Chain A
Amino acid sequence: MSVIAEETKPLLLSVDGVTVDFDGFKAIDNFSMTLEAGELRILIGPNGAGKSTLCDTIIGRVQAASGKVRFRGHEISGLPEYEIVRRGICRKFQTPGVVPSLSVRDNLALAARRDRRWWRGLGLAVPADERARVEEILEIVGLADRADVLAGELAHGEKQWIEIGMVVATGAELLLLDEPTAGMGPNETARTAQLIHSLVGRHTVLVIDHDMTFVEALGGKVTVMHQGKFLRQGTVEQIRNDPEVAAVYLGRSDH
């Protein structure tokens, strides 16, 4: 089930000539890409290609030295992180960012909250729609029977799923999933691919990974990054058969 968006769909995200400079080292070098609403995109590249830095730049953790990030046509570069989330972009981190001292359900409830102003949290009651949303997501990520376990006690793979659940629970339109299968075995990886497929359509999903088997299981359009620059874009087939991509992955690129 490869989802390749038609050209007519509106642009959701556009990264336009972004450069990120870490004291002279260009982690991202004049990189551009666009995402259409509802598509599944996979961003790959060898270690150090700048994939996670790109994520950091989109969500406002890292400021670009030049270039622009636009979401639904509005520039979001320079906004505080929480404001970018409220506009509809949420990210799963490479190492699972669950809150270990809260239960699985509370982790999701935290993410599902719509009114995040502090004085609205003083009551003990949780709005019914948020509670229903949490239960729904527990089902989606398959952790309903683990709902009352402390998130810190979950297995590594379960933590990854719960964090995907949290990202979904925010109701964000664009989900950035940074290495969602890191540290997973083949069975868990397959389940994760299934989970991500179930999200596409309702959400626009950008998956970052460098595991080609997982990329093949996902399908979708692939963008390849190398040394902070755009390298290739195409279907999984095209990318797999591209000699330059292969060279980059095997470390034989001539530079």
Chain B
Amino acid sequence: MTQTPFLSRLWIPVVLLAIAAPWLISGYELSLLGRFLAMSILAIGLMLVWGEAGILTLGQGVFFGLGGYALAIHMKLAGLEPGSLPDFMEWSGITALPWWWVPFKSPVLATLMVVVVPGVFAGFFSWLVFRRRVVGVYFALITQALALSFATLLVSQQGATGGFNGLTNFQTLYGFDLNAARAPVVLYWVTLALVVVCFAGVRWLIRSRFGMLLRATRDGENRVRFLGYDTTPYKVVAFTLAAMLAGIGGALFTLHAGVISPALVGVVPSIEMVVWVAVGGRGSLWGAVIGTLAVNFAKDEISSYLPGAWLYVLGLVFILVVGFLPRGIMGLAEDLTRRSARKPQPQPVEAPQ
């Protein structure tokens, strides 16, 4: 909700630095950064729906997966010889392409599906649930069940979804060779651009009266209702937008990682997504991005030294954040700057833009 002023003023240098990253860090680090930035688009959506609207969802993995699978299906089809089927289908003894794969042949349609499928599904689902006035922990549990059933469904439909292994081994997208030397850098910049656009879009939304109403609904839904507002559409729109952002994040992630599988979209990844935002601070857009990067870089480091320890660390981090840093890293930064600002010092002059 409240933007920390020093970061709001620093956004231009931060973005410039991010643009220059391919020359500043190693190829491996760049691939991680790109992947984590893709995930931070999901976190931006989660900040909107959880931080602003107060709707805790433990099912963002579903929408991340829908976006990821939508693009992955297209890429599987784009790399095929005419008349043949994706490799895993042949292994499962499938002889004809499932009907619902057909529309994904079109690159335009498949790209639209990255946001349309999660959006339509989230809109319909949340309308049904919010209309019944299901809130709080009950809503969170329903979304968790959704994540569980989505992952289970993917695994069980081996022939059509690639089962437990998911979809992998992509060659080309929009006619570009994904294995070209320049591909990772271009992909990184595309991701960065989408992060900036999504960030700016959600920032606008938060500052609008729509955003004000979301916060009011979070803090006093009854009061808002008895001021004459139907709160259901507001919550449905917030949840749907968050799902669409998760879909974009999932599609970009699939490009970066070269794979999408049930293990990336189930219950545990969905909880992890909430932890990113909790660590960064759910009241801040910067927090959502910073939290995603911090948690995932830490995960990468810890997993390489102590394989298997990550889930324990994750649990510990979550307990610590909930117990001691309820407003996350950004809340801490805000408190620290406020404390240093209390010392007598001249107010910084607002730089002309």
Contacts and interface: CB of A to CB of B under 8 A. Distances in A.
Interface of A: 59, 61, 80-82, 85-86, 90-91, 93, 97-102, 106, 109-111, 113, 116-118, 121-124, 126, 166, 170
Given A113-B209, A118-B233, 17 more contacts: A82-B228, A90-B227, A97-B226, A99-B223, A100-B220, A101-B1, A101-B218, A102-B212, A102-B216, A110-B216, A117-B233, A122-B205, A122-B208, A122-B210, A124-B209, A166-B227, A170-B227
Interface of B: 1, 204-205, 207-210, 212-213, 215-216, 218-220, 222-230, 233-234, 237
Contacts of B228: 82, 85-86, 90, 116, 170
Contacts, number: 83
Contacts of B215: 99, 101-102
Contacts of A85: 226-228
Given A99-B216, A101-B215, A118-B233, A123 B208 contact: yes
Contacts of B204: 124
A101 B216 CA distance: 7
B210 A97 contact: no
15 contacts: A61-B226, A82-B228, A97-B226, A99-B216, A99-B224, A101-B1, A106-B212, A109-B212, A116-B228, A118-B233, A118-B234, A118-B237, A121-B213, A122-B205, A124-B208
Contacts of B234: 118
Contacts of A59: 226
A126 to B, nearest CB: 7
Given A97-B220, A99-B220, A121 B209 contact: yes
A100 B207 contact: no
A102 B218 CA distance: 11
Most buried by B among A85, A91, A100, A118: A118
B210 A121 contact: yes
B298 to A, nearest CB: 31
Nearest to B236: A118
A178 to B, nearest CB: 11
A113 B222 CA distance: 17
Nearest to B283: A101
Nearest to B216: A99
Contacts of B212: 102, 106, 109-110, 121
Closest 9 CB pairs of A and B: A85-B228, A121-B210, A97-B223, A121-B209, A99-B216, A82-B230, A99-B220, A118-B233, A116-B229
Contacts of A91: 226
Most buried by B among A90, A101, A106, A170: A101
A116 B226 contact: no
A85 B220 CA distance: 16
A118 B210 contact: yes
Nearest to B237: A118
Nearest to B220: A99
Nearest to B218: A101
B209 A80 contact: no
B269 to A, nearest CB: 30
B133 to A, nearest CB: 11
B223 A82 contact: no
A97 B222 contact: yes
Contacts of B229: 82, 116
A81 B222 CA distance: 10
Contact of A80 (B222, B223, B230): B230
Nearest to B211: A121
A106 B213 CA distance: 10
A122 B206 CA distance: 9
A116 B223 contact: no
Contacts of B216: 99, 101-102, 110
A81 B224 CA distance: 10
A81 B225 contact: yes
B158 to A, nearest CB: 41
A164 to B, nearest CB: 13
Contact of B209 (A61, A98, A126): A126
B224 A110 contact: yes
Nearest to B213: A121
Nearest to A106: B212
Most buried by B among A82, A117, A166: A82
B326 to A, nearest CB: 14
A57 to B, nearest CB: 13
Contacts of A99: 215-216, 219-220, 223-224
A53 B341 CA distance: 50
Given A122-B205, A123-B208, A123-B209, A98 B223 contact: yes
Contacts of B220: 97-100
Contacts of B1: 101
A126 B224 CA distance: 18
Contacts of A126: 209
Contact of A116 (B205, B207, B219, B230): B230
